[in-house]
Each structure stands twice: as structure tokens, then as C-alpha cells.
A and B are shown apart, each in its own frame.
Chain A
Amino acid sequence: MTEARSQTLWRRFLEHRLAVASALLLALFALLALAAPLVEASMGIDARQVDLFNRFAAPDAQHPLGTDEAGRDLLLRLLYGGQVSLFVGLVTALASAAIGTAIGLAAGYHGGRLDRFLMRFTDGVIALPLLPLLIILAAVDLHKLPLPADWVRSESVNLYRIVVIIALVGWTTVARLVRGATLSARTREYVRAAQALGAEPLRIMLRHILPNIASPIVVATTLSAGAIILLESVLSFLGLGIQPPVPSWGNMLTNAQELIYASPRLATYPGLLIFLTVIAFNLLGDGLQDALDPRARATRLR
């Protein structure tokens, strides 16, 4: 990318004040979440320490946001929960984008029967009732699958399970976008030239086509990160995603509904953080679209 072009992009992005604010907010959340162990050390309390004599404590000097139903510090749980929610959102969005790009490139570049088959398959996945399917996938007993038993019992397995099952159904938007962009890129001179020079299809797809269709992929990935954080929070809320004691913003709300009379505070903060994170991803995606792909603005949503 030439310097002048990147400067133009940067200027167009900065003009989008909401997107800039969103990027800063997301960076702040990420930093705070990463700094959770430091905050924990400086506060001198253990985030997992259950203290049943100190349940639903109001905010004070020791617990800036008070404590939850098991007497754990709410602020620390929110920070650790943020690590999980942001990790799941980003990693799953990248995994979905990778799957979608591979399928879209293959379908768009080769065309013909492969294209028809892959796009019918994509339509089929889009037609599925997403949430019920995710609930079943999340309820699958991993002990019944041929997987290493130690791994199945480890605490982090829920984290990867969520990433895998959401990525399995989340790639469709990127696949359609990439397929469309590849179809039009395939007829361009630079692709023809590479073909004439005898470059292999894989090399043409990755070295020549992919860099030229990167913009819509970046935009779609940003938008999908927000949607995935929402999905993760719903699944964890329903008790099928991240399992306690590992906190995520979604599973912190699971008990909140029953405890809504005892402590409305517990129901407020995690939901507010999910909301702010998701809206920031959406506004950021919108701003990136304006900067990277201004033509798409006029035609999208048709």
C-alpha cells in the first residue's frame, strides 16, 4: 500500500469520531482485562476467594464495586470475565474469517460445480435456526467423543469448545463476501497475468487475490466479533457456554436473574460491559467500512 493511500485511509477513519472513540474504548477494555492479575495483586485479594459472610456487600474501599452472591470481588470478576469474553470474541471472529475466506476463495476462483456446491452448503448453514443448534452443540458430552480424557476434564476446554462451535456456523457472511469479491477479481488483468506466467492457483488466490479483497474481510470480521461476543454471552447465560468458576460476562448474569431482588447491581454491570463492547465493535466496523470500502456504503443492505 502506498503511503498516500494509507494516509487517506487513516484520515477518513479519523473523521469517523464514533469509530475512533470505539477503538479507544476497546483498547482500554483489553488493557484493563489483561491487567487483571496486576489489579488483583495490588488490591491484595484473591478473585476466586469465596467469602460467605460478606455476600452482596455494598461498594467500599476494599471492594470498589462490592461483592457478588458468593462474596467474591465484583470488579476483579468483571476484569477476568472480560479476558474470557474478549478472547472468545476475537479468536472466534478470526477463525470464522479464516474458514469463510478459504471457502469463499475456493468457490469464487474455481467456479462451476464446486462453487454451486459450496454456496448451496452456505445457504443451508444460513437457513439453520442458529441458537437452538448452538445449544445442542454446547450440550454435547465430550466424554462420548474420542478425545483425550485429561483434555476434556481441563478447565479451558469450555473456552475452546465455544470458539469451535461458533466458528462452525459463523463463517457464512465472510464466505459469501469473499466469493463475490473473488468472482470479480478473477477476471482482472493482474490475475490473468499471473495465470499466463504459470502461477499455481493457490499462489494466485493467496498472493494476488486475497490482498485485493482484504477490506471487506476486515470489516466483516470486526462486525462479527461483536455478534460473537453477544452469542457467547447468551450461551454462557443459559449455562451452556463458559462454565463457573471461570467468569465470563454472560455467566455472571446467570444467577443475577434469581438474585434480582437481592442485588440489582449484579445484573447491571456485566450486561452493561457486554453492551458497550458490542456497540464499540459495531461502530468500529462501520467506521472501517467508510474508510476502507466507501463504495460499499451506497450498495450494501440492498
Chain B
Amino acid sequence: MSRFLSTRLVESLAVLALMSFIIYGLIGLMPGDPIDVMIASNPKLTAADAKVLRAIYGLDRPIIDRYLEWLGASLRGDFGYSRSFHRPVFDILGPRLLNTVLLLGSSSLLAILIAIPLGMWAALRAHGLFDEAINLLCFAGVSVPSFWLALVLILVFAVGLGWLPAGGMGPVDGGGLLAHLRYMILPVTSLTIASLASFTRFMRASMLDALRQDYVRTARAKGASPQRVVLGHALRNAMLPVVTIIALDFGALFSGALVTETMFAYLGMGKMIYDAIIGNDFNLALVGLLFATLVVLVGNFFADVGYVALDPRVSFRSLEEQR
């Protein structure tokens, strides 16, 4: 077991290190480095001045040197300042992360709570009218562009009916907890719909699979009641792969959060990364992206560990052989 875990850990760290280099290089290729911004704000700067400035800031050195220096500073805990906020990067990251966790957590929980009974129900009545309807809705759910779904929700509930705010984090004058919750309804709904469809499909497939297993037949043969067979035997086992898949899907969830947060002006990590990239805030973009990669890798890692912990038939050894 420890061998499997340590190989996984080393691999994840290697991916993270590689990603940091790739992102560092790519960010350097974006338009507008710090000197470009200085030139834009001060037309008196000549090309010669710009060259001197580049030398002073070390921007004329080879990229590998600059990367290693950045890496050294980062490992000492110095991630630099955000250009647009004029504060250390981590001061900004913290509250944004909390908001995203809140958004992703509540929408994932909601999606799971709806998807499990829905998928179970569809599997129990496989190929019936209800199942077909759910199936078609799931196809619709995975095919709808998330930003357009958000746009339609704004169109209906904010513009048309005027029930809910179109975006933002809360009323300007503060307001109570309830006032803030009103601002969360549309983003959470939009993200929930986005993940609901794929979760339901996984749950249905997993439940169908569980219902075919020997232990379900044994339980039936023993004379267990249908409820007990479904809830006690099949459901418990069917939920296992679904939980794993959801953990593995963290990257997709995060991409969804980026779009939804941007659409609803919700101040989370996704919007922060998007704004940082668009606004040439290199340090913030770099750290935000690396943090997102880290979270996805940790999610994948725990999906593997959780899978083994939950399913007695799978051992770390068998996972290792599979790979």
C-alpha cells in the first residue's frame, strides 16, 4: 500500500512541477509584460529606456534562470505581489478560495442529493418511459453551454421576473445572511444543473450494474424485501463508483466554477484566475492556476485512496497491476 501511495505522490509532484514550468513559460508569452505596461502609461519612455528597465528587472535573462529563481522564492513561501490588488498574492487567494469552496460545495452536494435518487429510480425502471425521459434530460444537461444556461437563468429570474439579483456577492450596505444567500441562488442553481446530468448518468449506470450482481440475487433468494435489496444491498455498492467519479471530476467542476463565477460576478477563485489572466496580473494568475492544478491532483489522489478504502475487493496491489 505504501508503495502505491508513494509512487502516486511522486507522480503528482512531478506533474505539478512540470505544470509550474509550463504555466510560467506560457504566462511570459502573454501580451503585456510589466515593462509593456510601463510604456503604455508613460509615452516618454524610449526603446532604449525599456531595454535598461528589462535588464534592471532581469527580464532579459533566459527563461529557465527566471523560473528557477521564482521557484526558489516560492519554496521559501514568497509568491510575490498581485499587480492589480497591490497586496501579497496569498492575501487575495484565501477569501476567494473560501467563496469557491462554498459555491462548489453547495452545488455538488445538491447535485449528488438529487442525482442519487433520480439515477436509482431510472435504473429500477430501466427502458421505461420515466427512464427515457431522464435519459433525454441528461443528454440536454451535458449539452447545454454553461454560460448560456447562466444567461438564460439571468434572463428569466433577474430580467424577466425580477426575483433575484443578476450577479454580485451581496447588497452594498451589508445586509444579513439571508440577503447574501439570495445572491447565491442563481450561481448555485446554474452549477447544480451543469453537474446534475453527468452525476445522474453515472448513478444510473452504476445502479444497473449493481442490480445485476450475484449478491443482489442472493439477497432476493434469501427473501429480503425489495426495499431492503435495493436500499441495503444495491444502492450502497452503486454509490461507491459514483463518489469516486465525482472526486475525479474535480477538474471539470473547477472549469464550471470559472465560467459561472465570471457570469455572475461571484468573487471566487475562477473569476480571480480569469481576471488575473485578462488583466496581466502575472503573479496572481500563476499562483491561482498552480493552486487549481494542486487541488485537482489532490482530488485524483483521494479518489484512488477512497476507492480502495471503500471497496474491499480492490487493493492497492491490484490498482498497481492495472496501471
A271 and B241 contact, Cβ closer than 8 Å, known pairs A234-B259, A257-B263, A260-B159: no
20 contacts between A and B (CB under 8 A): A119-B323, A123-B11, A131-B254, A132-B289, A132-B292, A135-B258, A136-B30, A141-B30, A145-B29, A233-B145, A234-B145, A238-B274, A256-B151, A257-B263, A260-B155, A260-B159, A267-B151, A278-B143, A279-B139, A301-B201
Q: Report the nearest B residue to A136, measured CB to CB.
A: B26
**Are A260 and B30 closer than 8 Å at their CB atoms?**
no
Lowest 4 CB-CB distances: which A-B pairs, in order? A271-B148, A131-B255, A279-B143, A301-B205
B151 shortest CB reach to chain A, Å: 5
Q: Find chain B residues with CB under 8 A from A129 CB.
A: 251, 254-255, 289, 292-293, 296
A residues apposed to B, CB below 8 Å: 18, 116, 119-120, 123-124, 126-133, 135-137, 139-141, 143-145, 226, 230, 233-234, 237-239, 250, 253, 256-257, 260-261, 264, 267-268, 271, 274-275, 278-279, 282-283, 286, 300-302
Among A119, A130, A268, the residue within 8 A (CB) of B252 is A130
**Are A136 and B277 closer than 8 Å at their CB atoms?**
yes
A52 shortest CB reach to chain B, Å: 24
Q: Find chain B residues with CB under 8 A from A237 CB.
A: 145, 147
B59 touches A (CB below 8 Å): no
B5 shortest CB reach to chain A, Å: 16
**Are B151 and A282 closer than 8 Å at their CB atoms?**
no
**Are B147 and A253 closer than 8 Å at their CB atoms?**
yes
B159 shortest CB reach to chain A, Å: 6
Interface of B is mostly: helix
**Are B205 and A132 closer than 8 Å at their CB atoms?**
no
Q: Find chain A residues with CB under 8 A from B11 CB.
A: 120, 123-124
Q: Report the nearest B residue to A278, measured CB to CB.
A: B143
Q: Find chain A residues with CB under 8 A from B140 CB.
A: 275, 279
Q: Report the nearest B residue to A120, measured CB to CB.
A: B11
B residues apposed to A, CB below 8 Å: 11-12, 14-15, 18-19, 23, 26-27, 29-31, 136, 139-140, 142-148, 151-152, 154-155, 159, 201-202, 205-206, 209, 241, 251-252, 254-255, 258-259, 262-263, 270, 273-274, 277-278, 285, 288-289, 292-293, 296-297, 300, 323
Q: Report the nearest B residue to A275, measured CB to CB.
A: B144
How far apart sit A120 and B285, CA to CA, in the bound complex (Å)? 26
Q: Find chain B residues with CB under 8 A from A128 CB.
A: 19, 251, 293, 296
How far apart sit A64 and B89, CA to CA, in the bound complex (Å)? 51
Q: Find chain B residues with CB under 8 A from A116 CB.
A: 323
Q: Find chain A residues with CB under 8 A from B285 CB.
A: 136
**Other A-B pairs, 16, CB within 8 Å; known A136-B27, A139-B30:** A124-B14, A127-B251, A129-B254, A129-B293, A129-B296, A130-B255, A132-B255, A132-B277, A132-B288, A135-B273, A230-B143, A257-B154, A260-B154, A275-B144, A278-B143, A279-B139
How far apart sit A301 and B202, CA to CA, in the bound complex (Å)? 7
A54 shortest CB reach to chain B, Å: 23
Max chain B Cβ within 10 angstroms of own Cβ: one of A18, A120, A234: A234
Q: Report the nearest B residue to A223, measured CB to CB.
A: B142
B190 shortest CB reach to chain A, Å: 13
**Are B300 and A271 closer than 8 Å at their CB atoms?**
no
Q: Report the nearest A residue to B273, measured CB to CB.
A: A132
Q: Report the nearest B residue to A230, measured CB to CB.
A: B145
**Are B29 and A234 closer than 8 Å at their CB atoms?**
no
Among A133, A136, A257, the residue within 8 A (CB) of B151 is A257
Interface of A is mostly: helix
How far apart sit A288 and B263, CA to CA, in the bound complex (Å)? 35
**Are A302 and B209 closer than 8 Å at their CB atoms?**
yes
How far apart sit A18 and B140, CA to CA, in the bound complex (Å)? 13
Q: Find chain A residues with CB under 8 A from B209 CB.
A: 302
How far apart sit A133 and B147, CA to CA, in the bound complex (Å)? 18
Among B15, B31, B151, B296, the residue within 8 A (CB) of A139 is B31
How far apart sit A73 and B258, CA to CA, in the bound complex (Å)? 32
A136 and B23 contact, Cβ closer than 8 Å, known pairs A129-B296, A302-B241: yes
Q: Find chain A residues with CB under 8 A from B273 CB.
A: 132, 135
Q: Find chain A residues with CB under 8 A from B205 CB.
A: 300-302
How far apart sit A87 and B323, CA to CA, in the bound complex (Å)? 36
B122 shortest CB reach to chain A, Å: 13
How far apart sit A53 and B145, CA to CA, in the bound complex (Å)? 32
How far apart sit A274 and B145, CA to CA, in the bound complex (Å)? 7
**Are B30 and A271 closer than 8 Å at their CB atoms?**
no
Q: Find chain A residues with CB under 8 A from B288 CB.
A: 132
**Are A127 and B29 closer than 8 Å at their CB atoms?**
no
Q: Report the nearest B residue to A237, measured CB to CB.
A: B147
How far apart sit A129 and B136, CA to CA, in the bound complex (Å)? 28
A178 shortest CB reach to chain B, Å: 17
How far apart sit A86 and B223, CA to CA, in the bound complex (Å)? 56
**Are B15 and A124 closer than 8 Å at their CB atoms?**
yes
A282 and B201 contact, Cβ closer than 8 Å, known pairs A135-B274, A144-B29, A275-B148: no
How far apart sit A301 and B270, CA to CA, in the bound complex (Å)? 29
A149 shortest CB reach to chain B, Å: 15
A260 and B23 contact, Cβ closer than 8 Å, known pairs A127-B296, A275-B144: no
Q: Find chain B residues with CB under 8 A from A253 CB.
A: 147-148, 151
Among A127, A132, A136, A234, the residue within 8 A (CB) of B147 is A234
A127 and B274 contact, Cβ closer than 8 Å, known pairs A141-B30, A234-B146, A271-B152: no
**Are A282 and B155 closer than 8 Å at their CB atoms?**
no
A48 shortest CB reach to chain B, Å: 24
Q: Find chain A residues with CB under 8 A from B19 CB.
A: 128
